[in-house]
Amino acid sequence: MNRIIIILTIFFIGSCTSNNRSKTAVNQDFFQDNNTIQLSFTPNSNIMVGDQMELKISLNNIQDLFACSFEMVYNKEAIRVDSVLFDRSFGDTLQVASYLSDNLSSSFIVGLTNNNDVEGLSGSWDLVDVYLTALSSSSTQLELKNFLLFNNLGDTISYFQVNDPTLNINISP
């Protein structure tokens, strides 16, 4: 399995304090419309070798997002990552550095720089589009793991992931 480590960091001029990052159990009803992560994958059926696929990761009603990180695990014999595009909601000061390779892990870092004191980002948007190509006929999986959201104080933001983080992909010859 190939692992891609995707780290989204939104850098602001100013200081960030480190606080306790313990996890707490929260009732799912709290997340009905707030702090949700949603995956969409197209096409969701009839994938043939050579077909292009898109994985979209959306954030809904997030408050004070300062940084985000996640890991994507997939079989590099069956799927190739072609590109990773971050949404323009971050503005013109967004700086993206992406490193795609055939190694077991690749890193993606996104930073937002601003000369003023800025709070974290709040709202709903498509965080990232990952474009992939089907390489071989197989049944494979693409898994999103270790998704973390942080506010501008360094505290984790609790969230609910709307769909299963593991996508089953059937590729026909």
List, for residues 65-81, the tens digit of each pLDDT value: 877 777 777 888 898 88
Q: What is the reported pLDDT for 92?
A: 56
Find out whether 54 and 44 touch, Cβ atoms under 8 Å: no
Percent of the chain with pLDDT over 70: 62
Report CA-CA distances (Å) from 64 to 41, 90, 121.
Answer: 27, 13, 5
pLDDT band, very low/low/confident/very high, at 154 (cuts 50, 70, 90)? confident
Calculate the average pLDDT of the chain: 71
Q: Please, what are the domains in the chain? A: 2-19+27-168 (2.60.40.680)
Closest CA to 162 of 11, 59, 20: 59
pTM here is 0.70
